[in-house]
């Protein structure tokens, strides 16, 4: 008997009687989402900007980054300040990226997480390998909790997707918080609209 058959047979022999899946509705607050989003995001080390449009985002980024630094973005709106991201090429070639600019599909106010599916980054490694990350999110796409986020994601068949909340960090040395563990040292969130 293969290990697969052995394991499945042991589970069948030892499992308890069937217990039903719960069906619950979690109460939701709909007010003050943007304020909550900002408070939580800033609490975990992100910078939050509420902007009217793309031009304002560019202005803010141009103030912090030099044109000589490598900036990448899959967004056509940023073609004048960032190189595009080709899907098929070797992901190692992005090792020297200073700033990546991407768009999130959903924001979650309770924990400031942003849902970034693979299609929004072209290359999975982009939001991790860059030194700094900027994420745009449309104001009306911010929902209260992860429960609403997952109902928006629904049954979309992505290959990969990630919730990102704040910059990469660690507190492994004596519980001292240090931003910039392996991923981006900073996260800028632009709430657009």
Q: Site residues for other proteins, window 60-79 (CB under 8 A)?
A: none
Which of 34, 44, 54, 60 is the binder for other proteins (CB under 8 A)?
44
Q: Exposure string (b/e) for 144-171, b if CB count within 10 Å is 16 or more? A: bebebbeeeeeeeeeeebbbbbbbbbee
Using CA atoms of 8, 9, 12, 15 in order, give the dihedral in degrees to the nearest 10: -80
Instruction: Give the H/E segment covering residue 116.
Output: strand 114-117
Contacts of 171 (CB under 8 A, 6+ apart): 177, 178
Least separation in angstroms between CB 6 and other proteins: 6
Stretch that binds other proteins, among 19-27, 58-66, 70-78, 97-105 (CB under 8 A): 19-27
Which of 65, 167, 188, 189 is the binder for other proteins (CB under 8 A)?
167
Q: Is 145 an interacting residue with respect to other proteins (CB under 8 A)?
A: yes
Q: Is 130 an interacting residue with respect to other proteins (CB under 8 A)?
A: no
- Return d(Cα 87, Cα 160) in angstroms, integer: 14
Query: In terms of residues, how long is the chain?
Result: 193
Q: Is 31 an interacting residue with respect to other proteins (CB under 8 A)?
A: no
Stretch that binds other proteins, among 55-63, 64-72, 73-81, 151-159 (CB under 8 A): 151-159
Stretch that binds other proteins, among 59-67, 76-84, 99-107, 175-183 (CB under 8 A): 175-183
- Return d(Cα 191, Cα 51) in angstroms, integer: 6
Q: Which of residues 79-108 bind other proteins (CB under 8 A)?
A: 87-88, 91-92, 95, 108
């Amino acid at each position: 008997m293969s290990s697969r058959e052995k394991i499945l047979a042991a589970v069948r022999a030892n499992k308890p009687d069937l217990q039903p899946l719960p069906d619950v509705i979690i109460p939701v607050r709909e007010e003050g989402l943007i304020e909550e989003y900002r408070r939580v995001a800033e609490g975990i080390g992100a910078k939050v900007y509420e902007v009217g449009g793309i031009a304002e985002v560019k202005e803010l980024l141009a103030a912090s980054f030099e044109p000589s630094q490598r900036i990448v973005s899959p967004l056509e709106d940023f073609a004048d300040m960032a190189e595009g991201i080709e899907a098929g090429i070797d992901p190692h070639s992005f090792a020297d990226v200073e700033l990546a600019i991407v768009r999130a599909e959903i924001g979650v106010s309770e924990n400031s997480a942003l849902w970034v599916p693979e299609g929004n980054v072209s290359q999975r490694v982009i939001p991790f390998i860059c030194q700094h990350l900027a994420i745009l999110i449309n104001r009306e796409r911010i929902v209260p909790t992860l429960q609403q986020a997952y109902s928006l994601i629904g049954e979309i068949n992505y290959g990969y997707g990630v919730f990102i909340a704040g910059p990469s960090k660690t507190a492994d040395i004596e519980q001292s918080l240090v931003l910039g563990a392996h991923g981006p040292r900073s996260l800028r969130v632009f709430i657009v609209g």
